[in-house]
Amino acid sequence: MAFNPINWLLGLFSLDIAIDLGTANTLVNVRGKGIVINEPSWVTMDKRLRQPIAIGLEAKEMVGRTPSNVMVVRPLRDGVISEFDVTQIMLEYFIGKVHEQSVVPLPRPRVVIGIPTGVTEVEKRAVYDATMGAGARQAFLLEEPIAAALGAGLPIGEIKGSMVVDIGGGTTEVAVMSMTGVVASRSLRVAGDEMDEDIVQYLRNKYNLLIGQGVAEKVKWSIGSAFPLPTEKTMEVRGRNLVTGLPETIEVSSVEIREALSGSVQVIVDTIRDALDEIPPEIVADLMDLGICLAGGGALLQGLSDRLSDELKLRVWVAEDPLSCVARGAGMIFDDFDRLSRLLVGLERGSTRHSV
Ligand code: ADP
Ligand code: MG
């Protein structure tokens, strides 16, 4: 983000932060500073005391190596807050870190926080309450695809349709927007985590090799793909042979991993096709110009945009820095709050702390 002296000055007297509370990663974007926190949404807890041991990156590194009294929690795993207390602990920790990073004492922040489309009123309230409970002065909710579209620079205020597909860890969100509203949307619990699981299953079935989720994720990053690569690759993978019980290293190819991922990729393709089926022809015509924008970490899967263009006959492009799109887009709300605050999601009546 370019340095803006006005924002910097404002930042001395107030604190505005945008949070992308993702199923895989949490990003915190501080107005005037940019993204200051980018860590996995993971917490390790002491099982008996229900106390956190580590949060963020440190917690993710512990995965697969924890003793029996330690449990690993991903409080947002499926895109909604399944563990309210842990979510609040995590938010408190990240907001606290923003305060720690400052040399001058900071006021309690105004917070814009992303929520998936189609969440229930109860879930919205849970996100709102967790944010307020974590020390926010005011909390505002913003639908993630709108944040992603803003972050990707899509013209969502115009009378033109655009489409964002945000592929995260736990969920894939497909949204078609026009005139700052969502025209059609789909939310799918098939995304990056499911792909990691596909790789674990594939290697177990084909080679009797048991690998951890963390290793599977690294295999996906290095040689995972959704479309034939210009030059196919191979990589060595370490695990335990399930027959002998002994450690083993095998060589796998990108062709094999593509086969492993094909089921999940196809589900994503079909869901987008489904959403396209539902939208008015005027918007389909707009999409022929604008194409489909991919955001979220899953957008980085090699060949995914080629595969989607091939199947959907539309141009498909990856947003710049897809992993930070939602956090950057949510932060833009503060840059023009009077005009853009109408994009925020209201909570239904009955809330005493309602501030939207
Ligand atoms: P969320 O918004 O749910 O927190 P993110 O947008 O942060 O999710 O994306 C996280 C997902 O993106 C993870 O499943 C991760 O493995 C995946 N991912 C990140 N980089 C790559 C890559 N280079 N190739 C494939 N998948 C990737
Ligand atoms: Mg996300």
Each residue's pLDDT tens digit, 152-166 = 999 887 889 999 999
- The neighbouring-strand residues paired with 210 are 240
Per cent of the chain over pLDDT 90 is: 75
Which ligand is nearest the CA of 330, by number? 2
**Interhelix angle 254-278/192-207, nearest 10 degrees:** 140
| Tokens, residue 153 | 């620079």
Contact 295/146 with Cβ under 8 angstroms?
no
Contact 316/309 with Cβ under 8 angstroms?
yes
Vertex 187 angle, CA 193 and 174, to 5°: 100
Average pLDDT over residues 56-81: 88
pLDDT in tens, 277-322: 999 999 999 999 999 999 999 999 999 999 999 999 999 999 999 9
144 pLDDT exceeds 50?
A: yes
CA of 296 to the centre of ligand 1 (A): 6
CA of 167 to the centre of ligand 2 (A): 7
Rounded mean pLDDT of the chain? 91
Q: Which ligand 1 atom minimizes the distance to the CA of 20?
A: 2
How many Cα neighbours within 13 Å face the side chain of 296?
Answer: 26
CA of 201 to the centre of ligand 2 (A): 25
3 pLDDT exceeds 80?
A: no
Calpha distance 1→34 (Å, rounded): 6
Confidence of residue 356 (pLDDT cuts 50, 70, 90): very low
**Nearest to 356, CA basis, from 156, 121, 15, 89:** 121
> What pLDDT does 105 receive?
81
pLDDT in tens, 162-209: 999 999 999 999 999 988 788 899 999 999 999 999 999 999 999 999
- Which among 19, 21, 25 is the best mutation to test ligand 1's pocket, defined by most ligand atoms within 8 Å of the CB? 25
CA of 209 to the centre of ligand 2 (A): 31
Q: Among 99-103, 110-114, 254-258, which stretch is predicted with the lowest mean pLDDT?
A: 99-103
Neighbours of ion ligand 2 (CB under 5 A): 22, 168
Helix (H) or strand (E) holding 186: strand 181-188
* Pocket of ligand 1, beta carbon within 6 A: 22-25, 168-170, 192-193, 217, 220-221, 224, 296-298, 300-301, 323
Which residue type is seen at 255? V
> Taking the mean position of all CA atoms in its chain, how far away is CA 51?
26
CA of 126 to the centre of ligand 2 (A): 18
Per cent of the chain over pLDDT 70 is: 95
Q: Among 50-59, 151-160, 342-351, which stretch is predicted with the lowest mean pLDDT?
A: 342-351
Calpha distance 127→356 (Å, rounded): 13
Residue with tokens 């370490």: 238
> What pLDDT does 19 receive?
97
